[in-house]
Structure 1
């Protein structure tokens, strides 16, 4: 369990590093997991031998967001956890911000390989990736309003048009990989068994470029983005904490796991 990194091919000269998250049963990351993921992505991008990073996951789905049960267990819901008042909620906010920023700010392009569910924090990761390859069973969504939180609309807005983003956000509905492919935000949709190979194929193609030039290209493309994704997401997170302080977040989280919830 945790975050691991491997060279994607038998020849490290191919320049592709795979960062894999594995947090069974559903890849809902604890606070430390977000920081570990951020460190692994940043370290991979900083390695001069790496020219592309693949962000992958093991298990049933790509990412189920924050470990809500950790928030409940550690006193996020109106109490004082082991680290102080709302320590887990603060940790999750900061950890997610670091992980999302690490993907966006990675010195080389990041290809997300998405199978199964990609929810909550998963949207933050793939929305900040440079390209997405998805399995045909992949679904994407932000169930934040059902989890007593807010956030990652910044990243969902990079995947779908504005009005669809709003409807998805307000309803907690999901969209399929095929739908995102039609919107142009998913590069390729493949059977689940072919996901790793398809993501690697794209990453190797990117990594064939000159290492110095691909890093300049990443910096240049980030520089022309119309939205500062780090600042935008941190603005959203202020409302997550406001929801917690007002009691609205706690009230919704208290019901999490009941009536068929995860």
Structure 2
């Protein structure tokens, strides 16, 4: 039948893949459409540029005199992360460079992660006056490490996550596209009906409702914005940049 049908979706928001509010919703729509296509057997999520994802576009948020961008980003992130999780076929994240903030939401909800040896994973939300995606980080690291990463904002390496079993494979950066596609092809060659039921079954036995858990976290981001702490942190981040 030739090459198995693999839908590749590529993050491409130069220079660092800081995704604007509308970009999160667009990503959710693309993933949902790929999964809804009965010909799709695997979705491969990758990125161009210096890193996989730097999270939300803070500069876009700072340009907004109100809260419209924050609200749109909150809803867009929730939709994109849920689209990965709810996709009826396995989603493989091919991660290189930095995977931060919203990138953790995408990778943490993916079924498998193949990473370049230069990949790092972190949740710097506290330094940016926000909270969220600890739900997804908790799927990648043990509880106390998750808390340490949230409080200190320090990242971990792909090698660290490989030792924990969260990253399926670590390869040299130049080999990442081929390695991720090779894993996708193994899965895509399986019986598609069985694979779709396997995804449904695995989601059904998850102990945490990732959608509800993440939306709970997002409420604190809005609270921090209303009391001024979020804006102070984002201004400080902008000044450091």
TM-score range, shorter chain: over 0.9
Match of 1:137 in 2: 118
Q: Counterpart of 2:166 in 1: which secondary structure?
A: coil
**Which residue of structure 2 lines up, in the alignment, with residue 15 of structure 1?**
5
2:210 to 225, 229, 233: 229
> What secondary structure sits across from 1:255 in the alignment?
helix
The answer to whether the aligner puts 1:213 opposite 2:194 as a matched pair is yes
TM-score normalized with structure 1 length: 0.90
CA RMSD, Structure 1 to Structure 2 (Å): 1.0
- How far apart in 1 are the matches of 2:146 and 2:138? 6
Which structure 1 residue ranges, 4+ long, deviate > 6 Å from structure 2?
A: none
**CA shift digits 1:22-66 (9 cap, x unpaired):** 000000000110011111111111111111110000000000000
Gaps in structure 1 of 5+ consecutive residues: 1-9, 81-85
Paired position in structure 1 for 2:54: 64
Q: Once the two structures are superposed, what CA deviation does each residue of 1:144-185 show, in whole Å capped at 9, x if it has no partner?
A: 011111000000000000000000010000000000000000
2:132 is aligned to 151
Rounded Cα–Cα distance in structure 2 between residues aligned with 1:160 and 1:255: 28
Structure 1 residue matching 2:115: 3-state secondary structure = strand
- The equivalent residue for 1:201 is 182
How far apart, CA to CA, are the structure 1 residues paired with 2:141 and 2:126? 19
Deviation, 1:223, is: 0.2
1:32 alignment partner, one of 22, 32, 39: 22
Give, in whole Å, the separation in 2 of the partners of 1:40 and 1:88: 21
- Unaligned runs of 5+ residues in structure 2 are none
Count of residue pairs brought into register by the alignment: 241
After superposition, residues 172-183 of structure 1 pair within 5 angstroms as 172-183=153-164
